[in-house]
Structure 1
Amino acid sequence: MNNLMTKMGVLLLAVFASSDGFGEEEPSVEQIIEQVNLRDEGQAVSRILVMTLTDRRGKTRVRETRAFRKYFGDEKRTAIFYKKPNNIKDTAFLTYDYPDLNKDDDQWLYLPAMRRVRRISAADRGDYFLGTDFSYEDIKLETRISTADYHHILLGSHFIEKRKYFVLEATPVDDKTAKELGYGKVNTIIDSSNWMITKNEFWDPKGHPLKTIDFSDIRLVQGIWTAHIIAVDNHKTGHKTHFSFSDVDYSNGVNDDIFTTQSIRRGL
């Protein structure tokens, strides 16, 4: 099913390549989200991810990881293994993103100091991921848009250097979800030429500006649009997170065994 959806997405992107693909009419918010979520991500990818964390005083910490993602049918699995520095080496994260909207996703964290794998509950998904400014939910979604947690409206569109961008506003479906996510509103900017998200702006449940996520250095890798830099500016704490991706490989596949709790405990 996932291969069929990917092929459909590629065909739609080809049709829309010269414009937003909807003629003179603005697309509906559902059509825009569909294009973003159907965008080809490849069956599997491996990459090096370097995380640079900077506090409000300018002090930085750098962490190097190996990251993997693979689709099992319509189910997406992601694994991240920390390689450097030594004080966090062998920490690992695993998530199963299920297509069934009524089924909670599974997430696990391996902490070598505790020598155990800890399951992350749905109530914890708004927590920040290992000292970064990304939540566990942000890491899981990556470049997708959640339709289960939010109501969306189309705020409008604008052009930058002849490229059309759509702006969506998302609000949590209820107060419980807002509390779990830690977000009261999210604005998303989408490039209609490739259906990549270029920016997310977040407000907390009380309506205060929380953080901004920028996606940049977006280019084709083995025929797949890929953001090589993701940067977060936390407006409340002054903390910044910079993700830099390299050695991105969609062509060689990823072993199924990577995506198990045994694997994150054992390490690479």
Structure 2
Amino acid sequence: MGSAWRAATSQSSRRVAAALVVLASLFFRPAMMTGPLAADDRGLSIMEEQRRVNSGYRDEMVLFTMTLLNAKGDRSERTLEMRTLEGPEGGDKTLLIFKDPPDVRGTTLLSHENRTGDDDQWLYLPALRRARRIASSNRSSSFVGSELAYEDLVPNEVTKHQYKYLREEVVDGVPVWTIQSTPRFKDSGYSRRELFVRKDNYQMARANFYDPKGQLLKVARWGGWWKVTAKRWRARSLRVENRRRLGGRAGRASETDGGRSPSPPSSPLADSDPRRPVRSWPASGGSPWAGARWSSLPR
């Protein structure tokens, strides 16, 4: 399927806008800092607390609009749906589904976080009527032409990164803690990331991504925070700018309709065991995995 796949991927890459990436927000717990800690320990403790604070949501469904801006200022919009199922032991599962316009409708990315080992990702293109597994060596490549890489679309497992607390500062007018994150796994497209965590609500304000040579590659900014529950926040907007391209492309995602809602009980995300058959799918759009087993997807 080589030539057909390349043709379909090339066509989709020109058409499909970037997806909203879910980068977990961070929580700083002063009670843990009973004495001076090394920078690595302090950074790790923040990330471990982040995982704990943001766990327990079980499932979530969000509908949002992505606007892609090119160097000429041209704009194109896409509507996407994101479904997430929390996996306490096996890692989180996420479906990212393009809903509109019709020429990209049904394009779907399935991501399955693994606490140990490589994460699993499959991309489904309707033109081929088949899903293809994304190899770990390709996770640093652009997600269908956007400013986001495939690895950006998988939750950040704490044990797969090394963290270092850097400083306190003010970013975009907001007091933050700054943490450096270095990947422990191979094939990452980043040598490191700088994470800027808001002090007022413990959510991400900004993230700087550096390429393997240590040069700034892109910047992500979150805004429009709103409370989903008493303890959880979600951003209404995410803007990702490529700093390497002269007048380069900038992707901006904003939620036009969202909030926490349960995943349909018959969806692939409802089966905690990925090897169980997918029985059905909601009538709106259909699913490339209906009637199949996740474990039998093409690799």
**Do Structure 1 and Structure 2 share a fold, with TM-score over 0.5?**
yes
Greater strand share, 1 or 2?
Answer: 1
Residue in 2 aligned with 1:67? Answer: 82
Provide the TM-score with structure 1 as the length reference. 0.80
Counterparts of 1:4-83 in structure 2 under 5 Å? 20-21=30-31, 28-40=42-54, 42-74=57-89, 75-83=91-99
Provide the TM-score with structure 2 as the length reference. 0.72
Q: Which runs of 5+ in 2 are unaligned?
A: 1-26, 282-286, 291-299
Residue in 2 aligned with 1:122? Answer: 136
Q: Displacement, 1:84?
A: 0.9
Q: Displacement, 1:94?
A: 0.6
Q: Displacement, 1:50?
A: 1.1
Matched-pair contact (CA < 8 Å) for 1:168–1:188: yes
Please, what is the CA RMSD of the aligned residues?
Answer: 2.8
Q: Displacement, 1:193?
A: 3.8
Q: Distance in 1 between matches of 2:176 and 2:34?
A: 14
Matched-pair contact (CA < 8 Å) for 2:67–2:253: yes
Pick aligned residue for 1:250 from 260, 265, 277: 260
Q: Distance in 1 between matches of 2:214 and 2:173?
A: 33
Aligned residues: 242
One-letter amino acid matched to 1:231? R
Closer/same/farther in 2, CA of residues 255 and 186 from structure 1, 3 Å limit? same
Residue in 1 aligned with 2:218? Answer: 211
Among the aligned pairs, what percent are the same residue? 23
Q: Distance in 1 between matches of 2:173 and 2:205?
A: 16
Name whichever of 163-172 and 73-82 sits farther off: 163-172
Matched-pair contact (CA < 8 Å) for 2:112–2:120: yes
Residue in 2 aligned with 1:7? Answer: none
One-letter amino acid matched to 2:149? S
One-letter amino acid matched to 1:53? L
Q: Distance in 2 between matches of 1:241 and 1:160?
A: 20
Pick aligned residue for 2:164 from 134, 153, 159: 153
Structure 1 residue ranges, 4+ long, deviating more than 3 angstroms after superposition:
20-27, 144-147, 159-164, 251-254, 258-264
Matched-pair contact (CA < 8 Å) for 1:77–1:95: yes
Residue in 2 aligned with 1:225? Answer: 233
Counterparts of 1:75-154 in structure 2 under 5 Å? 75-99=91-115, 101=116, 103-141=117-155, 144=156, 146-148=158-160, 150-154=161-165
Matched-pair contact (CA < 8 Å) for 1:39–1:195: no
Matched-pair contact (CA < 8 Å) for 2:207–2:220: yes
Q: Displacement, 1:151?
A: 2.5
Residue in 2 aligned with 1:173? Answer: 184
Matched-pair contact (CA < 8 Å) for 2:147–2:240: yes
3-state SS of 1:137 partner = helix
Pick aligned residue for 1:200 from 196, 203, 207: 207
Residue in 2 aligned with 1:240? Answer: 250
Closer/same/farther in 2, CA of residues 24 and 137 from structure 1, 3 Å limit? same
Q: Displacement, 1:266?
A: 5.9
Q: Displacement, 1:203?
A: 1.4
Matched-pair contact (CA < 8 Å) for 2:48–2:158: no
Q: Displacement, 1:21?
A: 4.5
Q: Distance in 2 between matches of 1:109 and 1:205?
A: 25
